[in-house]
Amino acid sequence: MMQHYYYLFTDVLLVFILIITVTKDKSILKNWILTLPGMIFTSIILAMMDNRFLENGIISINDAYILGVTVWNIPIEQWLYYFLLSISSVFIFKTVKLNIDNKKPNIYLSISLILLLVAGIMTYVFRAHIYFFFILFLLTIYWAYIIFRNKFKHSLKAFFISFLVLLLPFLIFQGILTALPVVTYYNAHIIGYNIFSIPIESIFLLFLVLLINNTFYLYLKALKQQ
């Protein structure tokens, strides 16, 4: 019976890490209310995607590792994971922003344009793999919006660094979920490149989550300061 709590235990562990992080630097809680719209929007988008993927057999969630309580056909553990991932991305971004300079933004703009081109090409080449195509298509569109919306130019460096900082804990937690497995991705819909047991598509999704949450936060913060 204890295995039904495995996914929830994973979420709780992430909560403890967040509490420790906040305790060490309470300044990241400043303007916390501005993070809520991005978190809610991101969670709804992820839930809509996962709902469709589950219905069409693109991914599956192992009932043995969840409590069995769902909202919109999505386990409550998955909803909690959406929120925790969003909170983590904002906290890390705010911490990075406080500790880096914004010098040479054009370098990061150039890197962003190259990555956008690569993402666009990969989206087209692997369009037959539905999960990969859908995730990378959304990331490419949103990344293009950020690049060409000059408003976020001075945050590009922070986006990249935050992603790298967030990547290690994400690999640990997502690795647990895919190794058990709590979540299974079917090979026909992914391109087959993994980091341990984690499909590369999950890494792209992480970057998308980070971008959505923090662009919402930056936009609302700018509005508040007007």
Mean pLDDT by 10 residues, the chain (226 residues): 78 69 59 87 93 94 91 91 90 87 82 95 95 96 89 90 91 88 92 92 96 94 82
pLDDT at position 74 is: 92
Q: Residue 117 sits in which domain range?
A: 2-225
Which residue is it, tokens 């995730």?
135
Q: Is 189:132 a contact under the CB 8 Å cutoff? A: yes
Whole-prediction pTM = 0.92
Cβ–Cβ < 8 Å for 182, 6? yes
Q: How many domains does the chain have?
A: 1
Per-residue model confidence (pLDDT) at position 218: 93
Contacts of 126 (CB under 8 A, 6+ apart): 132, 133, 136, 191
**Closest alpha carbon to 156 in 192, 112, 197:** 112
Alpha carbons 89 and 6: distance in angstroms, whole number: 23
DSSP 3-state of 182: coil
Residue whose structure tokens are 């690569």 = 118
Q: How far is Cα 217 from Cα 131, in angstroms, rounded to an integer?
A: 27
User: Amino acid identity, residue 211?
Assistant: L
pLDDT score at 137: 96
pLDDT of residue 27: 58
